[in-house]
């Protein structure tokens, strides 16, 4: 009887869900002039913040204006701006202010199983990486 109970417990433990991937959260700050991204892998963002490659943040966490036809999202120009690492979050302030009533999105690339430095050095292309588009509504 004890063996059956032990087998059932082990079976239940094996079926439990694995911890979820970090959840990236977006919030507007500074009277809707900046966007704060939280939940990014701190080890990655702290390494990137020490890198001196120009435009590295814009390449890895690009922000775009949402087009009227969402099928054209991949063809939008990047919203240029300033990225800052504050605590464990990344703050983005665009060069030209966000327009109230418009929607923007941040393309969050997943680098699981890959070396992020391969993307930074250009050995791998971001278009091949999986991503989620995180919507920013004003």
- Long-range contacts (CB closer than 8 Å, 24 or more residues apart) made by 79-88: 79/104, 83/57, 83/58, 85/45, 85/46, 85/49, 86/36, 88/38, 88/40, 88/42, 88/45
For the chain, give the mean pLDDT: 76
Residue with tokens 């009277």: 31
The answer as to whether 3 is a domain residue is: no
The answer as to whether 1 is a domain residue is: no
Average pLDDT over every residue of 128-135: 80
**Three-class DSSP category at 104:** strand
Give 25-72 pLDDT, tens digit per residue. Answer: 889 999 989 999 898 877 777 777 776 666 778 887 899 999 999 999
The predicted pLDDT at position 89 comes to 87
State phi, psi for 118 to the nearest 5 degrees. Answer: -65, -35
The answer as to whether 93 is a domain residue is: yes
The answer as to whether 14 is a domain residue is: no
The answer as to whether 9 is a domain residue is: no
The answer as to whether 13 is a domain residue is: no
| pLDDT tops 80 at residue 121 | no
Helix (H) / strand (E) containing 56: helix 56-60
Q: What is the pTM of this model?
A: 0.69
């Amino acid at each position: 009887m004890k063996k059956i109970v032990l087998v059932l417990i082990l079976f239940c433990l094996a079926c439990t869900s694995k911890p979820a991937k970090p959840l990236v959260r977006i919030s507007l700050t500074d009277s809707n002039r900046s966007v704060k991204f939280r939940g990014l892998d701190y080890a990655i963002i702290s390494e990137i913040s020490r890198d001196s490659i120009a435009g590295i943040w814009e390449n890895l966490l690009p922000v775009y204006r949402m087009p009227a036809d969402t099928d054209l999202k991949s063809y939008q120009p990047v919203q240029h701006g300033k990225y800052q690492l504050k605590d464990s979050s990344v703050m983005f302030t665009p060069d030209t202010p966000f327009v109230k009533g418009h929607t923007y999105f941040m393309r969050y690339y997943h680098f699981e199983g890959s070396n992020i430095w391969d993307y930074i050095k250009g050995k791998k292309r971001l278009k091949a990486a999986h991503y989620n588009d995180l919507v920013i509504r004003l």
